[in-house]
Amino acid sequence: MRAAFSAALVEAATRDERVVLLTGDHGYALFDEFRKRCPDQYINAGIAEQNMVGVAAGLAKAGFRPIVYGLSAFVPVRVVEQIKIDVCYEKLPVIFTGDGAGLVYSTLGTSHQSFEDIACLRSVPYIDIMSPCDAHELTACMSTALTLQSPVYMRMGKADLGSVHAKAPSLARGELACVQRGQSRVQFIATGSMVKTACTLGAELDVSVWSAPWIKPLDAGQLGALAASSSAFVTLEEHSAAGGLGAAVLEAISEANPVPVLRIGVGERFSETCGSHAHAMREHGLDLASVRARVEPFVDKWTMSDAC
């Protein structure tokens, strides 16, 4: 996914000299090709993320298309105020990219883990939130982000779990992508790294799987129609269960077609032990076995309710 991100940056900057990349002293190897091809469009703002957002806002007001890169624990979490006031208040076309979202920086502890970034931004007006599940969705998200004349935040997980799609999906803004069809009237809606887990369980339980490359906006019409033909939803995300995809889905369907929603995500806790990404996922109950233990009885319950 990060290779696709690097390629998308180079392609955008070589096509449009207004594209400027700003980094908070991160991503050196990732940007080797960019610095070689577009040296005058690269700014290392140093470990000064708040200032970097202000610089990006100024560049946007001057007609540039800034792309701000950082670890998601810092962009957006450290700079929510600057994103709100400097960028979103004036609806400036700045793209924020948060790398290492979720629990990927497991060994670095709570300071570098990021499972609140979506929640931090969902209530800020005028900003889109994207969460691609693989390189193909990332390419599609970047392409769309560059056409928008408004702020965008795109979160990326650093762990490359392989492709979900065969090619970049063609999606309208806010639309879900169906990646797997099943016969059950329970639907899985997943985002980012958890789409792979959803696909595995969907195949086992004969459940359709939808990927959510957008968290904000969500296509309320599509979700409402899906809810009208479903008995229940399961949402899966490498993010807090509070304020993330699951909460957005609940809000979108609550008035029109409410159905039960099981939200799989990080609970009300921080990491307490140190280990690999897989270890952190197990600790927070996001590994395949833990998710299966929660999802199977829920799917069985709402499948049986249909039969009755």
Q: What is the mean pLDDT of residues 287-294?
A: 98
Same-domain check for residues 88 and 196: no
Residue 55 resides in a domain: yes
Residue 170 resides in a domain: no
Residue 273 resides in a domain: yes
Three-class SS of residue 72? coil
Q: What is the mean pLDDT of residues 49-54?
A: 97
Nearest residue to 264 via CA among 238, 227, 296: 238
Same-domain check for residues 208 and 151: no
Cα distance between residue 156 and residue 158, in whole Å:
6
Residue 90 resides in a domain: yes
pLDDT in tens, 165-198: 888 888 899 999 999 999 999 999 999 999 999 9
Nearest residue to 212 via CA among 204, 222, 225, 201: 222
Same-domain check for residues 18 and 149: yes
Same-domain check for residues 111 and 29: yes
- Confidence label for 307 from pLDDT (cuts 50, 70 and 90): low
pLDDT in tens, 120-129: 999 999 999 9
Question: pTM score, two decimals?
Answer: 0.96
Same-domain check for residues 202 and 272: yes
Whether 304 shows a pLDDT value over 80: the answer reads no
Same-domain check for residues 143 and 10: yes
CATH number at residue 105: 3.40.50.970
Nearest residue to 105 via CA among 290, 239, 275: 275
Residue 172 resides in a domain: no
- Confidence label for 28 from pLDDT (cuts 50, 70 and 90): confident
Q: What is the mean pLDDT of residues 22-26?
A: 93
Q: What is the mean pLDDT of residues 148-173?
A: 87
Residue 253 resides in a domain: yes
Same-domain check for residues 28 and 80: yes
Contact in structure between 184 and 303 (CB atoms under 8 Å):
yes
Same-domain check for residues 114 and 197: no
Same-domain check for residues 206 and 95: no
pLDDT of residue 238: 97
Cα distance between residue 207 and residue 262, in whole Å:
14
Residue 182 CA, distance from chain mean position: 24
Same-domain check for residues 109 and 250: no
Domain residues for 122?
2-155
pLDDT of residue 2: 84
Residue 187 resides in a domain: yes
pLDDT in tens, 206-250: 999 999 999 999 999 999 999 999 999 999 999 999 999 999 999
Alpha helices in 69-219 (DSSP H): 80-82, 117-122, 135-145, 194-205
Nearest residue to 244 via CA among 293, 192, 290: 192
Same-domain check for residues 224 and 151: no
pLDDT of residue 305: 67
Alpha helices in the chain (DSSP H): 2-15, 32-37, 49-61, 80-82, 117-122, 135-145, 194-205, 220-228, 245-253, 277-283, 288-307
Count the domains in the chain: 2
Residue 292 resides in a domain: yes
Of 155, 185, 209, at which residue does a domain stop? 155
Cα distance between residue 68 and residue 6, in whole Å:
13
Q: What are phi and psi of 74, to 5 degrees?
A: -115, -40
**Backbone CA torsion sign across 163, 159, 175, 257:** positive
**Backbone CA torsion sign across 116, 122, 125, 131:** positive
Same-domain check for residues 87 and 186: no
The share of the chain scoring above pLDDT 70, in percent, equals 98
Average pLDDT value for the chain: 95
CATH number at residue 273: 3.40.50.920
Q: What is the mean pLDDT of residues 85-92?
A: 98
Q: What is the mean pLDDT of residues 11-18?
A: 97
The residues, any chain, with a CB within 8 Å of residue 228's CB and separated by 6 or more, are: 257
